[in-house]
Amino acid sequence: MRRAFRSYMALTLKSYRIAVFVVRPLFMLAAAFILMWTSGEKDGLYPENLLFAFAAAGDVMLDGALFGGICQRGAACLGYMRTSDRGMAVFSGGLLVDMLFRFLYYMLIGGWCFLFTGLSQDFAAAALAYTAVTATICFTRHFDNWQVDLLCSAGIAILFSVLYLTFGILQNRLAVDLQPAAAVLCVTVSYAAARHMSWCLKRSYYEKESL
Amino acid sequence: MLETQDGKEFESVIEGRNLHKKFRGFALDIDRLYVPQGFATALIGENGAGKTTLLNILAGIRLDYRGELCYFGKYTAEDRETNPVVKENIGYTGPGNYYLPQWRVEQVGEISELLFDGFHRDRFEEWCGRLAVGPDGSNRKISALSDGNRMKLMIAGVMARDTKLLLMDEPASPLDPLMRDNLCGLIREYLAQDEGNRSVLFSTHNVADMENVTDYVIIMEGGRIAETGFVEELKEKYVLVRGEPEFSEAAAPHLVSMNSGRYGFEGICQADRLDALAGCKVSAETPGLSQICVAIMKKYSDLHAGREGKRGM
């Protein structure tokens, strides 16, 4: 795991880490504070919905700036990675740590919202937002194109809203706690995303001529 | 083991047999490949001759090929993928987007440290300074570096490692003439270390610039090896002939390639076929490596274009 953290640190830019670990959380915590303080369900608004949709949209753009195009066949930098027997491990390790940090970031916002609302479904909202982002970047990482990232960041806000509202509606109609289902979805998508990344890297890495 | 015309034997750092890679409209087809150990080998050929494909196969960047490879006299291509020793001992520099464009110069050092045990960060920084990577030595983004600076960065990256073999794809192309001269010097410096156990295989179009560092030559044409040999051997095997214009027609069939004009002709002839030009008034000289390479490439281009039969080897 230590090596994976080192890989993450080496693969990511300092400016990216400042944006991810300092600017993004501070901005989102401030935004959450303002939204939670000033609005509520009584106003017909779902502040956590707005908050996570915004966070997810920003995340897709941020990810595209660093990892855009890495799932393409013959992506830039893979040539260098291939010249080392550890290249694959370094790259996948870095991507896994990125995924872990993303999860922690959403849980941080979820926890912050929970402090205001006292509703445990804020954690479910965080898990769903994380799930939507993880699924979306599996797609956007196939393109080294900020226009695609921009389009997808708009799309993800909708995707998350649909997921979250469906989750809320189902929970009300079925009158059951669906938070474990959100957790299962979160874990399943994370696993699938990790497999997908690994497959994409291997595809241009170890693919052999079919003879 | 590589045997020269005069019976000398040389260890090979890479040996290949029946290497085959097929693309649409192009096939790399090499029956036998030898890269001698302890020497600088130049891989020369036209654009699209298969040099980059071959170097990628040798470096392990391409795995979608058929054939057998042997590294350092004992490791197979499978060992290269499973035994860390093989890749640790091979340094590779390639063209284009070798590093992620978002990375910065310092990051290359950090990542290389993770990728290779034999990478020395201090040596990397020293080489970056020595090669003047970046206009002011700053920690710039790879995408902001010129092609030449990017190549210098790659060279600094491999020179900072403990390797036994360098595979360099077109290292001279993006460099200025002064830097090309430096490149020749650093290849010589690299070869001189480790008691002659180090080898370099580089592809180049700048044959004249790289001639003073080239010991052995592999000339590729249309995915095949057209000629190989030590430079001195090739210079003995081929002769540069010049003659009056009236003899050009008579000489043409005996030359590998020929350029003729109003004031005479010039061509490359195989030394053992020089007798065939006895009736022609020609002068013979030792050709430069560049002239030999161009003649051979021209001959094969003519063959591909269906102009064979006019000239012979």
Q: Report pLDDT digits (tens) over A108-128.
A: 988 988 888 888 888 888 998
The top-level CATH class assigned to B2-229 is alpha beta
What pLDDT was estimated at residue A77?
A: 62
Q: Do B114 and A7 touch (CB under 8 A)?
A: yes
Q: Do A9 and B110 touch (CB under 8 A)?
A: yes
Residue B303 reports pLDDT greater than 80? no
Alpha-carbon gap, residue B200 to B181, rounded angstroms: 16
Q: Report pLDDT digits (tens) over A48-106.
A: 778 888 888 889 998 888 888 888 776 656 778 888 888 888 888 988 999 999 999 99
Any residues with CB less than 8 A from the CB of B165 and at least 6 apart, and which?
B13, B14, B71, B72, B89, B90, B91, B198, B199, B200, B201
What pLDDT was estimated at residue B58?
A: 92
What pLDDT was estimated at residue A205?
A: 56
Provide the 8-state DSSP code for A210.
-
Q: Which CA distances in Å does A29 have to A16, A102, A124, B24? A: 18, 15, 17, 55
Alpha-carbon gap, residue A177 to A167, rounded angstroms: 10
Q: Report pLDDT digits (tens) over B252-301.
A: 888 888 888 888 888 888 888 888 777 777 888 899 998 999 888 888 77
What pLDDT was estimated at residue B71?
A: 93
Residue B3 reports pLDDT greater than 90? no
Tokens linked to A54 = 């915004």
Q: Which residues of A touch B (CB under 8 A)?
A: 3, 6-7, 9-11, 13, 65-66, 70, 76-77, 79-87, 90, 205-209, 211
Beta pairing class for B12-23 and B90-93: unpaired
Q: Do B60 and A82 touch (CB under 8 A)?
A: yes
Provide the 8-state DSSP code for B287.
P
What pLDDT was estimated at residue A53?
A: 87
Helix, strand, coil distribution of chain B in percent, nearest 5: 40, 30, 30
User: CATH 3.40.50.300 spans which residues of chain B?
Assistant: 2-229
What pLDDT was estimated at residue B188?
A: 93
Q: Report pLDDT digits (tens) over A158-178.
A: 888 888 888 888 888 887 888
Q: Which of A11, A76, A207 sits opposite B111 (nearest CB)?
A: A11
Q: Report pLDDT digits (tens) over B63-85.
A: 888 999 999 988 998 888 888 89
Any residues with CB less than 8 A from the CB of B27 and at least 6 apart, and which?
B20, B21, B223
Give the CA-trace dihedral at B8, B11, B17, B23, to 10 degrees.
-110
Q: Which residue has the higher pLDDT, A3 or B309?
A: A3
What pLDDT was estimated at residue B106?
A: 86
- At residue B185, φ and ψ (nearest 5 deg) are -65, -45
Q: Which of B61, B107, B111 sits opposite A79 (nearest CB)?
A: B61
State which residue of chain A sits closest to B21, comparing Cα positions.
A209
Residue B94 reports pLDDT greater than 90? no
Q: Report pLDDT digits (tens) over B111-152.
A: 999 999 999 999 999 999 888 886 665 678 888 888 888 899
Alpha-carbon gap, residue B174 to A197, rounded angstroms: 34
ipTM: 0.76
What pLDDT was estimated at residue B209?
A: 84
Q: Which residues of B touch A (CB under 8 A)?
A: 21-22, 59-61, 63-66, 81-84, 86-88, 90-92, 94, 96-104, 107, 110-111, 113-116
Tokens linked to A121 = 């479904």
Number of C-beta neighbours around residue B20 at 10 A:
16
The CA-to-CA distance between both ends of chain A, in Å, stands at: 38
Tokens linked to B103 = 């990375």
Q: Do B98 and A77 touch (CB under 8 A)?
A: yes
Measured in whole angstroms, the distance separating CA B117 from the mean position of its chain's CA atoms is 27
Contact A77, B103 (CB under 8 A): yes
What pLDDT was estimated at residue A4?
A: 87
Q: Do B100 and A77 touch (CB under 8 A)?
A: yes
* Partners of residue A3 in chain B, C-beta under 8 Å: 114
Q: Report pLDDT digits (tens) over B178-203.
A: 999 999 999 999 999 888 889 999 99
